Structure 1
């Protein structure tokens, strides 16, 4: 497929053809889609490897019926968006979840707990424009996702890396360790030593701990690590003089859905 083997599919197409890509936005600020354009120096090289059939941010044209790769930004918050991602999964050989909202439900996910009580707290009668709402959830809670680009907003080069893996295949393992390991390798000071909350002890590694390197505590936008131990993290907060309730509140910013799921498990 234009020198590609489509890591998520086994179809052999003519060498002159390029992988057909669609970029779709759900409940989000569209900031991660904007981040894609911030790689100006390499953007034409990236576009030269794909056939960009549809980009919701840039066009009002209807989405085509046939494509190979679906890039999805945003959380699933309505029955319509749920049907959309199912349709995308049926037709795409490869699905990429783009950004925190697609990966963990992100900011929309803050409302997931007691969700159906919330509209009545705002509206006497829920407006028809709200449509048929569902509990906010990440794309991966509705369909199988092949690749995920994490963070809020995404790192543009991380997106390019993931797109390359989707197009050409890869045996690269997803990271499972927590951010604390990267901080130690970077030689940065721990915020807990200063009695300050940081979510790096439960957040999945992979961003190079950029925020911490700049003197800002991790806010958990990459999502919970599979190795995260929330009870141990709360105990660590207590030892550092940080209120565990503050930890739970901070975790809800990007990980409310995952936190509720972890509690059930």
Structure 2
């Protein structure tokens, strides 16, 4: 991420924003609207020129901030994100599909052979498909809002940083430290798989606080030690094969995953 700040640029008083959806369930865009208590305050600070979820109007030629949900899965989508990067001063990706390729990314391995397994002739409506990839694999991204779906307040925080600037550090630590600070019990002690030991922190380990193991939707932490994690699985009686399979849900296209095998 480049750390670009729109506040440092010569832009209109009210930043012009477009919200674009690619291959996803649009759940992260819906999640944005769940910040009812703050939504009007947020919308009052920006000029929403295009929101794919709410209008069929064409995208404008000029805007300042591009918010992108979803993975890149077609040549058309790849061209779209390149155009967004050329026109926008700031690009923000939201959700696992945009930041890690998410659920669409699970099909990345052997992707080019998959359509022929389903269709005798791939429908033209599918377009020119490519192996699913995150937005950052195609263009430079300035800010990310991770998790599946995004947290509404997390999105607002990142949007504020993009609009006004911030020196807030992006965490790279793994989730396990958050669990210890929250004083929650470890699933491995119960011989249950949890991906918190390799997943990027930042959500406050909310799933674990609710009694559910982490499924890794924030993606691999840059500080993750996968060989050590596999040893921990063996030590606690959790099948390593289950650990590796679970990692594929949100990390299939992460080079670090292939490098550790």
Structure 2 matches for 1:134-149, cutoff 5 A? 134-149=130-145
Residue 167 (structure 1) aligns with: 163
Aligned to 2:252, the other structure's residue is in SS state helix
**In the alignment, which of 72, 76, 81 is matched to residue 80 of structure 1?**
76
What is the correspondence of 1:96-107 to structure 2 with a 5 Å cutoff? 96-107=92-103
How far 1:13 moved relative to its partner? 3.9
Q: Unpaired segments of 5 or more residues in structure 2?
A: none
Counterpart of 1:89 in structure 2 is 85
Taking the aligned partners of 1:41 and 1:62, their CA distance within structure 2 comes to 29
CA distance 1:125–1:104, change in 2 (3 Å) = same
1:60 aligns with 2:51: no
| TM-score, normalising length: structure 2 | 0.96
1:257 counterpart residue number: 253
Q: CA deviation at 1:261?
A: 4.5
Instruction: Return the alpha-carbon distance in structure 2 between the equivalents of residues 71 and 236 of structure 1.
Output: 38
Distance in 2 (CA, whole Å) between partners of 1:207 and 1:96 is: 18
Whole-Å Cα distance in 2 between the matches of residues 142 and 42 of structure 1? 32
Deviation at residue 11 of structure 1 after TM alignment: 2.6
Q: How does 1:1-265 map to 2 (within 5 A)?
A: 7-8=5-6, 10-13=8-11, 17-258=13-254, 260-264=255-259
The answer to whether the Cα contact below 8 Å between 1:27 and 1:101 also exists between their aligned partners in 2 is yes
Distance of 2:219 and 2:8 partners within structure 1: 31
Cα shift at 1:231: 1.2
8 A Cα contact 2:71 2:132, kept in partner? yes
The list of structure 1 runs, each at least 4 consecutive aligned residues, that deviate by more than 6 angstroms after superposition, is: none
Query: Aligned equivalents of 1:261 and 1:114: distance in 2?
Result: 18
What CA distance in whole angstroms lies between the structure 1 residues aligned with 2:100 and 2:89? 22
CA contact (8 A) 1:177 1:205 kept: yes
CA distance in 1, matches of 2:34, 2:62: 27
How high is the TM-score relative to the length of structure 1? 0.94
Give the whole-Å Cα distance in 2 for the aligned partners of 1:12 and 1:106. 35
Mapped partners of 2:116, 2:240: distance in 1: 30
Aligned to 1:3: none
Give unpaired runs (5+ residues) of structure 1: 1-5
Deviation, structure 1 residue 8:
3.9
